[in-house]
Amino acid sequence: MNTESATMKNTAVFKIVGAAAAALLLNACGGGGLSSATTSATSFNLQQGMSGLVTNGQSSAVTLSGTVVVSGTSVPFTGSGTLTLNAASSATFNGEGALAQTETISGTITAEGQSATYSSAAVDYYATGDYALLGETTSSEYDVAPSAFTYPASVTAGSSGVLGTTSDYTDSSMNTPAGTTQFSYAVTAQSGSTTAVSVAITEQIYDTGSNLLQTDVTSYSLSDAGVLTLVSASVQNSSESLTVTVH
């Protein structure tokens, strides 16, 4: 009986953690990363950085950590894996031509002395001309930006603002609303550097009643040459947290 309970509990842990990873990738998917201390007057091109990351992609080894609540108990987990942003390819989204970037995370998670492998995937869609975000999909969600939005072409340390919002549905039929997601950004200085800044993209996910369900933050480093590199990401809701950090 005790053995059965332990097995069921660990299975639940891995199922929940896998869901958290999928949510992270969808919202793309701040966990911290880079400290802010040096102020720079240099202007940085965030739109150029994002379009370059979409065009070229990125693949990195990552560490995983976080907690989940199982049967009323908070259970910590750790792990490692690979996060891959594929180079964008031509696709169709919501009836129009688009660029699709597939995001995947795969690895091994350990919780309560038990290990399991997992993988999850999501796809972000961008406009072919200006790389405006059109929407995002997973196997259980279809999110569409009523007004596609781009990232600022000029930011400095201290810049922040709302980027846009997606209307979220359970599938591509868009018959069943799931809520909304608001995207915002914040730029901070990097300690000891005047040639790069830290950029945090925050996504606040709401249900159909406008109740905040989850907050996801993806942290990047943006150089003065317009190169954007993913540094870390996090997902946080009432029952679980996940932080992914690039080695």
Q: For the chain, which residues score pLDDT lower than 70? A: 1-41
CA distances from 8 to 12, 79, 241 (A): 6, 20, 20
Helix (H) or strand (E) holding 14: helix 2-26
CA distances from 190 to 32, 88, 119, 155, 215 (A): 12, 29, 32, 14, 23
User: pLDDT value at position 112?
Assistant: 87
User: pLDDT value at position 63?
Assistant: 96
| Three-state DSSP class for residue 108 | strand
DSSP letter (8 states) at residue 132: -
User: Which residue shows structure tokens 């996504």?
Assistant: 203
| Number of CB atoms found within 10 A of residue 127's CB | 18
| Number of CB atoms found within 10 A of residue 233's CB | 29
User: pLDDT value at position 41?
Assistant: 52
User: pLDDT value at position 72?
Assistant: 85
CA pair distance 55, 57, nearest whole angstrom: 6
CB 201 within 8 A of CB 188: no
User: pLDDT value at position 79?
Assistant: 95
CA pair distance 13, 21, nearest whole angstrom: 12
| Three-state DSSP class for residue 209 | coil
CA pair distance 219, 232, nearest whole angstrom: 5
What radius of gyration do the chain's Cα atoms show? Answer: 18
| Number of CB atoms found within 10 A of residue 153's CB | 12
User: pLDDT value at position 120?
Assistant: 84
CA pair distance 16, 18, nearest whole angstrom: 5
Virtual torsion, Cα 10, 15, 18, 23, nearest 10 deg: -130
User: Which residue shows structure tokens 């930006």?
Assistant: 145
Token pair recorded at residue 168 = 């979220």
Q: Which of 192, 205, 196 is nearest to 235 (CA)?
A: 205
Virtual torsion, Cα 87, 137, 247, 188, nearest 10 deg: 100
Q: Note the pTM of the prediction, 2 decimals.
A: 0.84
